[in-house]
Each structure stands twice: as C-alpha cells, then as structure tokens.
Structure 1
Amino acid sequence: MAGKQKVILAYSGGLDTSVILKWLQVAHDYEVITVTADLGQEDDLDGVEPKALKTGATKAYIEDLREEFARDYIFPMLRSCALYEGRYLLGTSVARPLIAKRLVEIAKKEGAAAIAHGATGKGNDQVRFELSINALAPELKVIAPWREWDLMSRTALTEFAEKHGIPLTSSSKHYSIDRNMLHCSFEGGELEDPWTEPEPESHIMTVPVEQAPNEPEYITITFEKGDAVAINGTFMKPMDIMLSLNKIAGKHGIGRLDMVENRFVGMKSRGVYETPAGTVLYIAHQDLEGICLDREALATRATILPRYASAIYNGFWFSPEREAMQALIDKTQEGVSGEVRLKLYKGMAWPVGRFSPNSLYCQDLATFEECATYDHKDAAGFIRLQSLRIRGYADRVKRY
C-alpha cells in the first residue's frame, strides 16, 4: 500500500457500496478505508467489518453515532417545528451532515486525500454529503462513482461483484430503504406510480393502523427548553427518548406519511415515510409552545421555518444561514419547559393536557365567568383602532 492515496468510503455493506469499494481499488488504485455509521437503524452490523476487509479495505470503522445524532441533530431540528413542504420531518436529510462530519474527521485522522459516497446522480444525498464535506474540509476531494462509472444497472453491478469475488447476499427487498432512529423511508417499486397504494412491506417501524390496538394509550412527555427529557416521569438521554417513543408510537401505527415531494435537484419523487417518535414529539412540542411561547415570538419563528426546513433538506446544515436561524429558534425555546399528556390511538396522537411552570395562560383572563382583571368595555376602543385602515379602505372601494 506504500505510496497509494487513501480514500474514506461511506460504507453500508450492501451491493452498491461493496462494488464501489472494489471499483476504487481497480479504477483508481486507492487504499480504501470504510466508515459505517450506526444511527439507530437497527441493522446487524456485526458482519460489516469482515466483509469490508474481505473486499479489500485496509481498515473498517463502525461508528456508534446514535447519541450524537439524537442530541445534536434530531433535537435541535425538532425545536423548530419545521416540516419540509409542510409535511416531511426531514428524517434522511438531518442524518447526512453527521455522517459527513464523521467521514471528514476520519479522513483527517488517516491522512486521506478523498471521500467517496454511494449516492446516485439523481438524488438529494449527493448534494447533502458534498455540501457538508465542502463546508468542513474543502481541501478534500469527493468521489461520486455513480456520476463516473458505467455500471448503471443492477445486472452490471452484480456482474462486477461476481467478477471480483465480492460476496453477495440474496434480498427480496424491492424498495430503496433508508432507516435511522428518526425514520424509515421507502422509494421505488410500486411507489413509482403515485396512484398505487403502498404494499404491506413498506411498514417496518409502525404497524398498519388496522392492526393497532383497539384501546388508546396515554403518555406524558416532559420538556426542558424545547427538548424532550422524560417519558411518563422517567428521565432519559435523547437517544433513549427516541428509541422508546419509536416502540410506543409504532405500536399504535403513528407516523406514516405518503407524499410526492420536490427534490433539490429538480424532479418530483414519491416516498413513504415512517417517523413514529418524531411525529409524537412534534405534536407534543408544538402543543406545549401554545401555552408558554409568546404570540409574536411564535409568529417570528414561524416566518423562517420554510427556509430552515429547506436548508436542512437541501444539505445546508453547516451553513451560516442555518446556524443563524438555529440561534433564533433556540432563543424562543428558553421558556418551553413543562409536560404534555397525549392520547395515542389508531395512527393519531392527540394532546389532551399540558402544563408549564412558564405558562402564559391565565385562566382568570380566559374564563367565560365573571373576571375582575378584564373589562369588556376596553375591547370597543381596541376594535375601533384596529378598524381605522379597514374603514378608510371601505370608503375608497365602496363595495356596495
């Protein structure tokens, strides 16, 4: 290996990245070091290192990034209540910058000249990986084999693997699947027809709603400064919050989404997503904000949410605009502490109670009973002032 340049490969152990590993050696004469990220996808990673080494890697890193993922990426994003195109909880998008960050760290540690990834030339992930790498280490070369090689079909990949002795495993999966502790996404197969209902195999983290329990379940989530810290009074680390809520919410079929979205590269794509824990946390957090976040602070935060969601979706996590928006979001969360009680039933989560020591809700003001602190007569002057511009406009338009 003396004199060979090193490349760090984002490696899953599947057909694509196994072929890439060997292709980097055959086509470019690189020394390849693989990195596999454990983000809570619940795959069996025991065989990944032996397979990488057997395929020619000189080192194989298996990185447990679960706690960092939950604490430094999922939770900051969930503080925002941001949804891409008003629906998608950004499960794949928010994982890519962390993977890229670890690839860069290992590249620097190993003295590598380049980083390689297995994202295709049609998707968003190529953009997310490469923007993150450029933000963290612009001196590193990025290799994207799907934009360079001529292995453009599953048959061609399989033939290459057989030629070079790459061990293959049979798979009945007909979806392109991405999973981590926040979500699982499905693309391809029958989903390429937007009219076709997803098949049962597109359920992994959630049960079909028809199979969910016939009795509701009540849970209480405790928040501190916008982050969930406890479930039913049991305090946990962010990772354990996510894993526990995935089981609880998944059992009730909560968090399924079927949508056609707009990829950053310009095409529309249909995806099915499962986000059980993220959906419950989104609903609970948004509800808690209703009791303890000032109206205008909430409105100000809301104005940036489409741009914040797009920044994450499009790969700009490590950008000045995302960091500036995060600072504003985190400022709004300083008083978002308390508890939300939720009812989970047949694919839905309803907030049924909320409490905050920082509550701005005043029962005396809101009551329909007699109130000593609010004079109904004051509303007349308020309405008169609010109507000044409307009355002026009415005089000019003369609608009737």
Structure 2
Amino acid sequence: MSTKGSVVLAYSGSLDTSCTLLWLKEQGYDVIAYLANIGQKEDFEEARKNALKFGAKKVFIEDVGREFVAEFIWPAIQSSALPCIACKQMEITQWKGAKYMSHSTTGNGNNQVQFELICYSLAPQIKVIAPWRMPKFYNQLKGRNDLMEYAKQHRIPIPVTPKNSWSMDENLMHISYEAGIPENPKNQDPAKAPNTPDILEIEFKKGVPVKVTNVKDGTTHQTSLELFMYLNEVVGKQGVGCIDIMENCFIGMKSRGIYQAPASTILYLAHLDTKAFTMDQEVRKIKQGLGLKFVELVDTGFWYSPECEFVCHCIAKSQEQVEGKVQVSVLEGQVYILGQESPLSLYKEEPVSMNAQGDYQPIDATGFININSLRLKEYHRLQSKVTAK
C-alpha cells in the first residue's frame, strides 16, 4: 500500500523514465505517468501499456503539437533563437490533487532547472522529486549501465544497449543526441541527399511563418503545425539543420550535443532575411540583444519569469512590420536565399543606386561627416597631450 501520496512523472518510455517510474513505485508513491506528444515518432499506446505494466496507477497522453509550435516555437523564431511539457504536467498534477511531480533528468544539466523552475512558477506549493539528485537513487543506479541492468532485471523493454547507450530526445523542433558516444545514427548525410534542390517560398506576418509553398508542385501549407512538419520533412531529407555544439550548462559544466533541427534552421534563416528588409536598424540592434537574453532565459528555465514576459513583449512589438515572402533553395545540407519581397520593406533602390540620384543629395554627407568627426578630433587632440607628458 502506498503511504507517500501521488506523484506525476514526466514519462516517455525511455530507459531513464521507465526506471524512474519503477523506482518511485518501490519507494511507496502512487505514480501517474504523463506523456506529451510534441511530434516525436513514438508508439504511445505501447508506452501506455508499459507504464501500466510497470506500476503506473494512471497514464495521461496529450497531443500538444499545435500548442508547442504556436506558443513556444514561434516566439523562438521571432527572437532568432536557435535552442511545454512541464506546463501541461503541472495541469495534470493540480487536476489530480497530487502533492509531487517528478522527472528523470540528470543532476548536471539544464533540463532539471527548466522543469523545476517552471513548476515552481505555476504551482509554488508543489514538491519536486528529482531521483538523480537523491543519494538513495544515484548510489543504487550510478549511470546508464546500471540503469540498463536494472531494466533487464525487471524486464523493462528499452531502446538502448551498452554499445548504443546515447540518449535521444525527439520533438517537433529538434532531435537531440547525448550521452555515451555522442553520435547520430539517423542523421541524413548531406552527400546522400537528393541531387536536385527543393525550392520553397516562406511567408511571414508579424515575424511568424503563416504559409509555405513548394514552388515546384504548388502545394501550400498554412496551419502552424502542418507547415512546421512539412518543413521538417522536406528540408530534413536535404540534410539541413544538423548541428554539433558544445553547450554551457547553467550550473557551470559543458556538455556536447548533436541536434537535428531542419524546420527551425530554415525558418531562422528566412526570418533573418525578412527582418533585414523590414526592421529599423536601431530597433534591430536592440532586438538582437533581447534575442540573446531570451535564449538565456529559456535555456535556464525562466520562461514564466517577469523578465521573460517583458522580453517577449518587446520582441513581439519589434516584429509588427516583419512581413514578406522569402524564396529559398535547399540542397545537400545548404540553404540558399533566392529572393524576397515585402509590402513593408524599408529598402529603396533609388537612394543607394549608382544610376539614379533620387531625393538624396550627396552634399548632405559633408555636414554629417563633419559633425561625427568632432568627437574623434577632440579625443585625439587630448591623447596627443597625454603622450607628450
């Protein structure tokens, strides 16, 4: 009989979450498993059966793909950021009256911080059970080899082996590979991609993608989830968006991760191009700084903080005129911008043309240069006095 109450566990059916589920049950908790479908290719019914088989009292599976794209990925694209589940998990926790939530992220990365700060922001009274930070857990299960042995003893089906022990996390935005040998067995080798390009036209309004058209066959995709999944498929087969990076963890360590993010990569580049034509240069400078701050806040779990709310509001304001169409070609791992148009473009050909003077008077530059040189002249006049002493 359970004596400790209910705990809602973020569950995926992976090695880590399966072992965590069983371990929590052994500690006397009633485990409620929560699975969020955010685009990963997974047999959810099989995961449900396994969760129940290994002790979950209840299993909840939610399709939050549309919400993930519209409320999380689009703000990341607007901010030019290249880096849901916890939020929905907290809804289940509160709905079922559970006192605890749990996750199986390790004690040395950013995921634990992201999960828990979001939980405490939305439900301050909740207590978090983080097994990987509990001596009783990590002294018993010291690493992935111990987890695999534990799973074998309890007949938990797992997708990894001692030779292929890396961790893979998949969602609509990206697939990441970490742990063990950080290699990517599913990566599309750009050299093996089709030898003909795909030509796509991407339309933005207020900095958000609203339509994707395949120029070759004329097919269009307009809903947020539909167009994002389409770009993942078409751009992914061309080997675009494979990233190998060394990351700085919030707690001070470095970790290496390999990512596949085809749709995010092409939208990032197309958004940059549209922004260059439509955003005032001084606003763009400020927005670039805000974009870096947004990345930092999201990566360290401060999505629901007052500062992140403020930054998101400012970024959204900067995107009001980011509207237009960008035509891109994707081929063998590369993205090529072919052209762009925008009804709100700040670019005018006449003032910068060498063939027409337009309404710009070149003589005006003389006064501009003289005014800006005053500061430099005065600085160097004083410097000459200092060096003469």
TM-score, length-scaled by structure 1: 0.89
One-letter amino acid matched to 1:370: A
In the alignment, structure 1 residue 325 sits paired with structure 2 residue 308: no
Match of 1:229 in 2: 210
Counterpart of 1:46 in 2: which secondary structure? helix
Cα deviation 1:236-294 (Å, max 9, x = unaligned): 21111211001111121111111212111111111111110000000000100111111
Which residues of 2 match residues 74-113 of structure 1 at below 5 A? 74-82=73-81, 89-90=82-83, 98-113=84-99
The whole-number CA distance in structure 2 between the counterparts of 1:109 and 1:357 is 47
Change in CA separation of 1:325 and 1:234 when aligned onto 2, cut-off 3 Å: same
Identify the match of residue 129 of structure 1 among 97, 103, 115: 115
Deviation at 1:217, TM superposition (A): 2.4
Match of 1:308 in 2: 294
One-letter amino acid matched to 1:81: S
Cα deviation 1:154-187 (Å, max 9, x = unaligned): 3433444455x44324535332111111111112
Match of 1:214 in 2: 195
Counterpart of 2:108 in 1: which secondary structure? coil
Which residues of 2 match residues 1-400 of structure 1 at below 5 A? 5-27=5-27, 29-82=28-81, 89-90=82-83, 98-148=84-134, 149=137, 150-163=140-153, 165-169=154-158, 171-172=160-161, 173-191=164-182, 198=183, 201=185, 203=187, 207-232=188-213, 234-398=220-384
Cα deviation 1:305-345 (Å, max 9, x = unaligned): 22211111111111111110000000011111110111212
Counterpart of 1:341 in 2: which secondary structure? strand
Aligned partners of 1:18 and 1:166 also within 8 Å: no
The whole-number CA distance in structure 1 between the counterparts of 2:340 and 2:147 is 54
Count of aligned positions: 375
Cα deviation 1:203-233 (Å, max 9, x = unaligned): 1xxx211112223322100111110011117
The whole-number CA distance in structure 2 between the counterparts of 1:125 and 1:237 is 29
Deviation at 1:350, TM superposition (A): 2.0
Indicate the RMSD between aligned Cα atoms, in angstroms: 1.9
Deviation at 1:356, TM superposition (A): 1.0
The whole-number CA distance in structure 2 between the counterparts of 1:159 and 1:78 is 41
Counterpart of 1:358 in 2: which secondary structure? coil
Aligned partners of 1:246 and 1:277 also within 8 Å: yes
Cα deviation 1:60-100 (Å, max 9, x = unaligned): 01111100000000001110113xxxxxx21xxxxxxx111
The whole-number CA distance in structure 2 between the counterparts of 1:394 and 1:268 is 44
Deviation at 1:382, TM superposition (A): 0.8
One-letter amino acid matched to 1:152: K
Change in CA separation of 1:110 and 1:20 when aligned onto 2, cut-off 3 Å: same
Counterpart of 1:60 in 2: which secondary structure? strand
Deviation at 1:152, TM superposition (A): 1.4
Counterpart of 1:344 in 2: which secondary structure? strand
The whole-number CA distance in structure 2 between the counterparts of 1:346 and 1:352 is 16
One-letter amino acid matched to 1:167: I
Where does structure 2 lack aligned partners over 5 or more consecutive residues?
A: 214-218
Deviation at 1:370, TM superposition (A): 2.0
Deviation at 1:303, TM superposition (A): 2.0
One-letter amino acid matched to 2:203: T
Aligned partners of 1:186 and 1:202 also within 8 Å: no
The whole-number CA distance in structure 2 between the counterparts of 1:299 and 1:239 is 30
The whole-number CA distance in structure 2 between the counterparts of 1:217 and 1:158 is 42
Aligned partners of 2:290 and 2:315 also within 8 Å: no
One-letter amino acid matched to 1:215: T
Deviation at 1:396, TM superposition (A): 2.5
Change in CA separation of 1:212 and 1:156 when aligned onto 2, cut-off 3 Å: closer
Cα deviation 1:117-144 (Å, max 9, x = unaligned): 0011111111110011010001011001
One-letter amino acid matched to 1:114: Y
Identity within the alignment, %: 38
Match of 2:216 in 1: none
The whole-number CA distance in structure 2 between the counterparts of 1:221 and 1:140 is 43
The whole-number CA distance in structure 2 between the counterparts of 1:229 and 1:16 is 37
Counterpart of 1:190 in 2: which secondary structure? coil
Deviation at 1:349, TM superposition (A): 1.1
Change in CA separation of 1:267 and 1:170 when aligned onto 2, cut-off 3 Å: closer
The whole-number CA distance in structure 2 between the counterparts of 1:250 and 1:160 is 36
TM-score, length-scaled by structure 2: 0.92
The whole-number CA distance in structure 2 between the counterparts of 1:170 and 1:6 is 28
Counterpart of 1:365 in 2: which secondary structure? helix
Where does structure 1 lack aligned partners over 5 or more consecutive residues?
A: 83-88, 91-97, 192-197
